[in-house]
Structure 1
Amino acid sequence: RQPPAGLVVHSDRGSQYASEAYRTLLSRHGLLLSMSRKGNCWDNAVMERFFLNLKMERVWQADYANQAEAMADIADYIVGFYNNVRLHSSLGYMPPTRYERRPPIQPIAVSEII
C-alpha cells in the first residue's frame, strides 16, 4: 500500500520491538512506533487480539518445516483469510477489505428552511 510517512505501528513492549534494529527500520521507512505502557496491555488491545487470533486460528495448528514455510503460511492467513474472508464484529461483520471498499455513508440532508 505504500503508506505515507507517519503511519503508527503498534506493538507491545517485547524486546524485539524495543530493539535498536527494529526502531531504526521503522524510522528508515518514516513509521512511528507506539508501545503499550508498562503493565498495560489495553493500550494496544487491537493488535494483541490480532496476534491471539493468528496464533489460535493458524500458527498453533501448524507444524512448520522451516521459517520460509511459516512466513508463507502466515502471509496467506493474513492476506487470503483474515483480510478477505474472516468476519470482524467491529466492522459490522464484514472482512476488512470489503469494509474499506463500501460506499461512503451519505450524511442525512437537513433542510435549510427554518
Structure 2
Amino acid sequence: MYISIRECQFSSYDKQNFLLDYRLVLSISRRGNYHDNAIAENFFQLLQRERIKRKTYLDWEEVGRDISDYM
C-alpha cells in the first residue's frame, strides 16, 4: 500500500514507525503531481456517487457500517 504525503508531515520517528508497523510505503512526489492521488480520488468519487448520495443516514455508526459494507 502506498501513501502520498508531503515530506514535512511524516518526518517524525513516531510517524515513520507507524508506517513500518502497518507495512505502508511513503510515496512523495513533486508539488502539483496529481497522479499519486488518482486512485484514492477515484474511489471516493465512486463511493459518494454510488452510495452516500443515494441514502439518508440516521447516525455515524450507520455510515460506518454502510461504507464498510461497500468496501
TMscore range, shorter length: 0.5 to 0.7
Distance change >3 Å, CA 69–CA 25, structure 1 → 2:
farther
Pick from 2, 8, 12 the counterpart of residue 9 of structure 1.
Answer: 2
Task: Say what the alpha-carbon RMSD is for the aligned residues.
Answer: 2.8
- Is 1:30 equivalent to 2:23 in the alignment? yes
Query: Which has the larger share of helix?
Result: 2
Matches within 5 A, 1:77-96: 77-78=70-71
Quote how far apart the aligned CAs of 1:41 are. Answer: 1.9
TM-score (norm 1): 0.42
The size of the alignment, in residue pairs, is 65
Pick from 43, 58, 63 the counterpart of residue 70 of structure 1.
Answer: 63
Give percent identity, aligned residues only: 38
Unaligned runs of 5+ in 1: 1-7, 79-114
Alignment partners' CA distance in 1, 2:35 and 2:68:
26
Alignment partners' CA distance in 2, 1:37 and 1:60:
33
> For the pair shown, which has the larger CA radius of gyration, 1 or 2?
1
Quote how far apart the aligned CAs of 1:33 are. Answer: 2.9
Residue type matched to 1:51 in 2? F
